[in-house]
């Protein structure tokens, strides 16, 4: 996928070392990915702390923005899980804010999209999967295994249904991670490919430029949407573990 | 048939399935618009699920894309 000038659209996803840190044979260097994750963490914490510092009863604009973010996820969690989901709000909120700002920071020029690497998204998805599974076994003990046996299924069909249910359960971390990673990677690759067209087409490069403008808008929408979808699915999986209705 | 030709054909086949995901997305939004025209008041309440459905269907298309890219660049 080489464009004009020998630059590949995939170069933007390369991990570069910024500061060498080697501890006892382990390469713990600061990479551009880690740097942007630190930036996301600092920005989201600073935003929420600064916006809420007044704690006014009638919120101003900034406090309103922070409160809307809180309300959105609190409402989502309440709608999917109910009041039993309240203890898991920090997890869900952190996931949403982290993925949202990682995706949005990737839209800045010359930045690096943290969530465009399957390693990052799979770590997040695996964490959600392990937490939800452990939660299911803690809350219901071995009765949690009945989750894979839907009610009202006749005997012989169980031989077919149970392995399918187990498979679809274990597919969850994979689908969760690949959905986020593929959306981010595909979007940014498309932007770079059209960017190559703009340069290559000279005067007529205005046409791919218009497409890039539209695509950038779409990418911002997709950035927010994918954070929302990841969070909604986490809430749904939490609901499956807490209330075991199939 | 040598490997690089087989790779190209395999990637093309995997990419065809993305068209069917496009049909699925059209179904979601078509039904949403049809329902909203019958019952405009309920349109706002269900929009969240429309977006969720769109994202999940889009994900299937992107799984196919990832498969095509794996066939092209990993093997």
pLDDT tens digits, one per residue of B63-74: 898 889 888 888
Chain A residues touching residue B57 (CB < 8 angstroms)? none
pLDDT per position as a tens digit, A209-244: 999 999 999 999 999 999 999 999 999 999 999 998
Helix (H, G, I), strand (E, B) or coil at A56: coil
Between CA A25 and CA A29 the distance in angstroms is: 11
Q: Please state the domain count of chain A.
A: 1
pLDDT above 80 (res A3)? no
Between CA A71 and CA A48 the distance in angstroms is: 13
Q: Which of A30-34, A128-132, B13-17 has the lowest mean pLDDT?
A: B13-17
Between CA B45 and CA B8 the distance in angstroms is: 45
pLDDT above 80 (res A245)? no
Set out the domains of chain B in order of their start, with CATH numbers.
Answer: 3-73 (1.20.20.10)
Smallest CA–CA distance from B70 into chain A, residue? A182
Chain B residues touching residue A184 (CB < 8 angstroms)? none
At A52, list the tokens: 């809420």
Between CA A221 and CA A212 the distance in angstroms is: 14
> What's the whole-number average pLDDT of chain B?
90
Between CA A56 and CA A49 the distance in angstroms is: 13
Q: How many Cα atoms are found within 13 Å in the side-chain-facing hemisphere of B60?
A: 15
Q: Which of A39-48, A138-147, B24-33 has the lowest mean pLDDT?
A: A138-147
CB A106 within 8 A of CB A44: no
> Is B42 an 8 Å CB contact of chain A?
no
CB contact under 8 A, B55 and A186: no
H or E segment to which residue A22 belongs: strand A22-23
pLDDT above 70 (res A192)? yes
CB A104 within 8 A of CB A219: no
Q: Which of A57-61, A125-129, A136-140 has the lowest mean pLDDT?
A: A57-61
pLDDT value at position A241? 92
pLDDT above 80 (res A2)? no
**Helices and strands of chain B, counted as H and E runs:** 2, 0
Share of chain B above pLDDT 70, in %: 100
CB A18 within 8 A of CB A32: yes
pTM of the model: 0.90
Q: A62 lies in which domain range? A: 4-242
Give B51 to chain A, closest Cα distance, Å: 8
> Is B62 an 8 Å CB contact of chain A?
yes
DSSP code for A19: E
Which stretches does DSSP call E strand in B18-68?
A: none
> Is A186 an 8 Å CB contact of chain B?
yes
pLDDT per position as a tens digit, A25-66: 888 889 999 999 999 999 999 999 999 888 888 888 899 999
């Amino acid at each position: 996928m080489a464009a004009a000038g020998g630059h590949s659209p995939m170069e933007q996803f390369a991990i570069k070392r910024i500061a060498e840190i080697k501890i006892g044979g382990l390469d713990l260097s600061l990479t551009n990915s880690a740097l942007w994750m630190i930036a996301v963490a600092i920005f989201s914490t600073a935003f929420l702390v600064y916006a809420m510092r007044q704690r006014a009863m009638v919120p101003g604009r900034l406090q309103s923005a922070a409160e809307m973010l809180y309300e959105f996820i609190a409402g989502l969690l309440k709608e999917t899980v109910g009041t039993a989901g309240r203890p898991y709000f920090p997890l869900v909120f952190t996931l949403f804010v982290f993925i949202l700002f990682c995706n949005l920071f990737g839209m800045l020029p010359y930045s690096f999209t943290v969530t465009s690497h399957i390693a990052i998204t799979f770590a997040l998805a695996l964490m959600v999967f392990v937490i939800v599974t452990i939660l299911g076994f803690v809350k219901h003990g071995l009765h949690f295994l009945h989750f894979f046996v839907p009610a009202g299924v006749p005997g012989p069909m169980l031989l077919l249904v149970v392995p399918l249910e187990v498979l679809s359960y274990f597919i969850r971390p994979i689908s969760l991670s690949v959905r986020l990673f593929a959306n981010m990677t595909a979007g940014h690759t498309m932007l770079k490919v059209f960017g190559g067209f703009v340069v290559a087409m000279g005067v007529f490069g205005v046409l791919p430029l218009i497409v890039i403008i539209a695509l950038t808008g779409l990418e911002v929408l997709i950035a927010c949407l994918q954070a929302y979808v990841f969070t909604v699915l986490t809430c749904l999986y939490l609901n499956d573990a807490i209330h075991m209705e199939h | 048939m040598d490997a690089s030709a087989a790779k190209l054909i395999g990637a093309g086949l995997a990419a065809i399935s993305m068209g069917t995901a496009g049909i699925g997305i059209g179904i979601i939004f078509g039904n949403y618009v049809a329902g909203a025209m019958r019952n405009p008041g309920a349109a706002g309440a269900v929009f969240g699920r429309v977006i969720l459905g769109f994202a999940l269907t889009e994900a299937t298309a992107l799984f196919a894309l990832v498969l095509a890219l794996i066939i092209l660049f990993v093997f």
